Amino acid sequence: MRQRGGERVRRPDSLPVALLLVLLSFALAGCGVTVSSQTSVQLQDPSAQAPISLAITSSSSSADGADHLSNSANTQAQPSHKQSGEVVSAEVRQQAVDLFEKGYYIFDVEQGPNRLKESVAFYDQALELDPDCYQAYTGKGIAVAFQGDLNAALRWLDRAIALKPDYAFAYYNKGLALKYHGRFDDALLWFDKALAYDSEHAWTYFGKAAILDSQGKTQECLENLAKSIELMPYCKVTAKEKADDDFSHVKNLPEFKRLVEQ
């Protein structure tokens, strides 16, 4: 302070230290100064008892540091993923189920050339909304199995079963994934587990019939095929279309022909 005409005059307050620090960092960047991780700058705050130390870190030049700041800002702006077990609203949960149904329609009905990739994209969107959407894990599991990765498929399907232990469709899809990869005995076990929760799922009986045909168990094959057709008559259409692949041992038998043609 100084005197002016007997009046005590206060000089303008110094700029806040935080602002000085920001200005200093930009000044250094503008000069192209390379600052090491050990660089320390001391500033004197008139109101402070001791100088304030500022440690500036950078991996290389100030230009690199600017890029780093930009990248950090972009990373922080990204939304964080929901975690399993996190509570979601009923509305969001339904949105996730709707996305699953869109994906499964592409997978099961449209049968386009990119159906696996496109369906998985919908399942992933569903899981972004609701990490505990067991339907989406079930759909993703069988799609990934058809893409060739059985181990990953089983992990997704096991996740679905852990979330919903009585969800028969997850057991069925696990059996189907194992069947697709030639693990017939294991597939039969999971088909039977599926039937324990839903004894009227036609395609489970159909899957069992196809495996039993490959094992030469003619009578059991025909019984399961008959059951699938009883529950869903459309199964006879699929049986005729896939006779060479799934029913090569029984396709010429009168019993098989009666089942698929009646």
Q: Is residue 80 part of a domain?
A: no
Across the range 82-105, mean pLDDT stands at 90
Across the range 193-209, mean pLDDT stands at 99
Which pLDDT band holds residue 25 (cuts at 50, 70, 90)?
low
- Is 166 found in the same domain as 103? yes
Task: Confirm if 79 and 121 have CB atoms less than 8 A apart.
Answer: no
pTM of the model: 0.68
Across the range 147-164, mean pLDDT stands at 99
Task: Confirm if 250 and 222 have CB atoms less than 8 A apart.
Answer: yes
- Is 55 found in the same domain as 96? no
Q: Is residue 248 part of a domain?
A: yes
Q: Is residue 81 part of a domain?
A: no
> Residue 158 belongs to a domain with what CATH number?
1.25.40.10
- Is 221 found in the same domain as 126? no
Tally of domains within the chain:
3
Last residue of a domain, one of 193, 208, 241: 193
Last residue of a domain, one of 169, 193, 217: 193
Q: What is the pLDDT of residue 176?
A: 99
- Is 210 found in the same domain as 189? no
Structure tokens at 68: 């780093």
- Is 154 found in the same domain as 111? yes
- Report the relative pairing of strands 7-9 and 52-55 from DSSP bridges: unpaired
Which pLDDT band holds residue 138 (cuts at 50, 70, 90)?
very high
Q: What is the pLDDT of residues 67-93, one digit of tens each?
A: 443 343 333 333 335 666 678 899 999
Q: Is residue 107 part of a domain?
A: yes
Last residue of a domain, one of 151, 173, 193: 193
Give the residue, 190 or 45, on which the prediction is more confident.
190
- Is 64 found in the same domain as 29? yes
- Is 127 found in the same domain as 111? yes
Q: Is residue 83 part of a domain?
A: no
Q: Is residue 131 part of a domain?
A: yes
Q: Is residue 150 part of a domain?
A: yes
- Is 112 found in the same domain as 68? no
pLDDT above 80 (res 236): yes
Range of the domain at 261: 200-262
